[in-house]
Chain A
Amino acid sequence: MTWLGDQLGRIADEMPQHDLGATVMARYQRRRRNLIAFAAAATVVVTLLAATIGARALLAEPPAAVAPSLPPERSSISVGVVPTVESAVLIVALRMGYFREEGLSVQPMFLPGSAQGVPLLEANRLDLIQLDYATFFRATESGKHLKIVTASHQSAPGTLALVVNTTSKVRTVTGLKRKRIAVHQLGGLPSLALTAVLERAGLTSKDVVLVESPYPEMLGGLKGGRFDAALLAEPFVTVGREGGQVRVLGDAMSGDLANLQTSGMTATERWIRRNPRTLAAFQRALGKAARLVAADPELARAALPTYTKISQKVVANVTLGSYPDKVDLTHLTRIAALARAQGWLRRLPEPGEAVAKTE
């Protein structure tokens, strides 16, 4: 056998083996039932039509009785997320098959930065993206018609940290003056948190040089000396620390930002208008996974190695935030106020307007 064949075989070994027999039978039976029911409904409709013109009022009845809940408008959707602990619930929902139960096939797309998802969302290349709340407000202020549909993640001490190489001479945040600091994305919630950290140390963001870098590349960039410090999100903080590569200078989600919700699933208003059932199905499945993870956070931990480069050993030490199933408007208000105070927003947005209204 060739090397290629051998490697393909090993890749195939990764496929978990389930018995699909029962599912296939159930799907087939359901399809057949629907077909029979549909045929029956159609017969009823035709009969009624033929019988009397006055039957109009009855027409809506038979199909409604047959299919009490219509399937989602879209059977397959693409969701853009940044591969950190923040996106764990989506992966848990996928692994538990919750989307499939709702008749939805969800394709996660890993983005280097969530702001990069906004144009893809507008171009209908993505259906939903996980967007941090600061970027969200800046995007809506610049005229993008976006709404938050669910909360994704709430920070905890340690989920976002300012780190330097263990060999670095920098001991305190004050020592970062005129240094290069990597942030995931300028103008996002992490950079807002960084500004707060710098201000507590008597610096401003003008005293340092901010460099944009995707999270997976930050540890390499620190090692290679492309920047002196980095604002890392979990699980990368733990990967760097356990690997003996970095030292934590300070927790970023503290002070005014402590325990805030950081990001939420976001869609365009047009998409929400056109796909109410898809959205409801997505929200149900994600909410179910969020409640499951709230009861057992280890499920989120177990999902991490499936989409980030982290070993089973290291994953045990990762700091997890929490995964709320509702958007908290007070958190949105606080983030908007902090962004406004930094001059990132021209006016204070109305947080109630930010959240999609669904029944």
Chain B
Amino acid sequence: MDRDAAFTAFLDTHQRPLLRLCYLLTGEVHLAEDLLQSVLVRMLGRWPKLRHIDNLDAYARKALVNQYISWRRRRGSGEVLRSELPERAHSSEDSAVLRIVLRQALMRLTPKQRAVLVLRFYEDRTEREVAELMGCSVGTVKSQAHHALARLRALAPELASYLPVLNDDPAWNEGARR
């Protein structure tokens, strides 16, 4: 039974942030719960083998992101339909309105672009950490983030002034390397 106890303890500390991450990735309550559940069920199945991993939280995150990307690849086709045309009639100053616009625009990114943005800006991780979680190179993270932000700007011009500018100029890159 200590397996169940250990698992419950893991859930108590980590399920809240993990569920929030799932929600940001999927954009839908039920999908978010489904995503987290399916990963947790698999983790529970492998629990004895996972005992030796010291950072279970990172393991769960990695599994989530990968599961989400491959899920979306399989279910992909429906995605475009969901996009309601953002109504632009109201004043876009309101932050609640901006958030809705952001939400709708996020749903129209590819799963990878979305994952990169969420990990990079919501979880505030470095490009290296994001690359590690997504199992790709730092260069891919950079280009995905760049494309994602560009697409957000194109989809929702009213957000443009709020979005972060990635320092792609050589001087900054130099600094980052040093």
Contact = CB atoms under 8 A, between A and B. Distances in A.
Contacts of A7: 95, 98-99, 102, 162
Interface in B107-132: 117-118, 121-122, 124
Contact of A27 (B23, B37, B103, B117): B37
B82 interface: yes
Nearest to A124: B77
B45 A3 contact: no
A20 B162 contact: no
Interface size class of A (residues with CB under 8 A): 35 or more
Contact of A100 (B30, B122, B162, B163): B30
Interface stretch (A8-16, A171-179, A318-326, A333-341): A8-16
Nearest to A4: B121
Contacts of B117: 4, 8
Interface stretch (B14-22, B62-70, B135-143, B168-176): B14-22
Contacts of A107: 28, 31, 75, 78
B23 A12 contact: yes
Contacts of A271: none
A15 B44 contact: no
Contact of B41 (A2, A15, A17, A28): A28
Contact of A25 (B20, B44, B95): B44
Interface of A: 1-5, 7-21, 23-25, 27-28, 31-32, 76, 78, 80, 94, 97, 100, 105, 107, 109-111, 120, 125-126, 216-217, 220
Given A11-B102, A16-B29, A100-B34, 14 more contacts: A4-B117, A7-B95, A7-B98, A12-B20, A13-B20, A14-B23, A17-B16, A18-B33, A21-B11, A94-B30, A109-B82, A111-B81, A125-B78, A126-B81
Interface of B: 4, 7-8, 11, 15-16, 19-24, 28-34, 36-37, 40-41, 44-45, 75, 77-78, 81-82, 84, 87, 89, 95, 98-99, 102-103, 117-118, 121-122, 124, 162-164
